[in-house]
């Protein structure tokens, strides 16, 4: 759960951003975004749907999906798993990092030694057991950057 101060701040940002982009401030959108903003458990669309349903029984799953998409485009939301479209496989069993292109979703291996060692400065929450760790680098790959110079600034 999220503190109510942070929630208020997020909802205010949401309201402002809707106005900025000319997005209609509908009841459904407000409830959907509040469900997202008050969670720190990285819910699925289905999970949001279930929660929103308690307040708006007539809500449809399609509306939830459409708005998640809208919010993501508006920069109000991020996908935790950029590569969720389809399974991606790796036969390289050694430690290495991944660079994921946000445009074309290509994954490029980055050798372990090219990144400063991942080190926990604080222990994990009680009872958590770490198996392994890697860096996920997000950006634009060379061929996408070449084909769309705007992307090179990192200001999307």
Distance CA 7, CA 96 (A): 36
Classify 41 as helix, strand or coil. coil
Cβ–Cβ < 8 Å for 51, 36: no
Cβ–Cβ < 8 Å for 97, 134: yes
Report phi then psi at 116, rounded to 5: -55, 140
Residue 127's Cβ-side half-sphere holds a number of Cα atoms within 13 Å equal to 0
Determine if 51 is a binding residue for DNA (CB under 7 A): no
Least separation in angstroms between CB 68 and DNA: 7
Site for DNA in 66-95 (CB under 7 A): 66-67, 69-70, 84-87
* DSSP single-letter state for residue 124: P
Contacted by 75, from DNA, its own copies, none: CB < 5 to 8 Å by type: its own copies
Contacted by 98, from DNA, its own copies, none: CB < 5 to 8 Å by type: its own copies
In this complex, which beta carbon is closest to DNA, that of residue 50 or of residue 112? 50
Contacted by 74, from DNA, its own copies, none: CB < 5 to 8 Å by type: none
Residues in the site for DNA, rule: CB under 7 A? 18, 22-29, 44-46, 56, 58-63, 65-67, 69-70, 84-87
């Amino acid at each position: 759960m999220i503190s109510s101060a942070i929630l208020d701040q997020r909802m205010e940002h949401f309201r402002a951003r809707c106005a900025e982009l000319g997005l209609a401030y509908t009841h459904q959108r407000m409830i959907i975004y509040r469900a997202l903003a008050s969670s720190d458990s990285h819910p699925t669309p289905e999970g949001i749907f279930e929660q929103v349903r308690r307040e708006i029984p007539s809500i449809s799953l399609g509306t939830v999906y459409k708005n998640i998409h809208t919010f993501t485009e508006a920069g109000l939301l991020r996908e935790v798993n950029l590569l969720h479209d389809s399974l991606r496989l790796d036969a390289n069993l050694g430690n290495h990092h991944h660079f994921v292109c946000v445009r074309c979703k290509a994954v490029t291996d980055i050798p372990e030694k090219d990144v400063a060692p991942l080190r926990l400065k604080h222990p994990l929450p009680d009872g958590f057991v770490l198996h392994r760790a890697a860096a996920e680098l997000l950006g634009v790959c060379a061929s996408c950057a070449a084909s769309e110079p705007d992307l090179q600034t990192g200001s999307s």
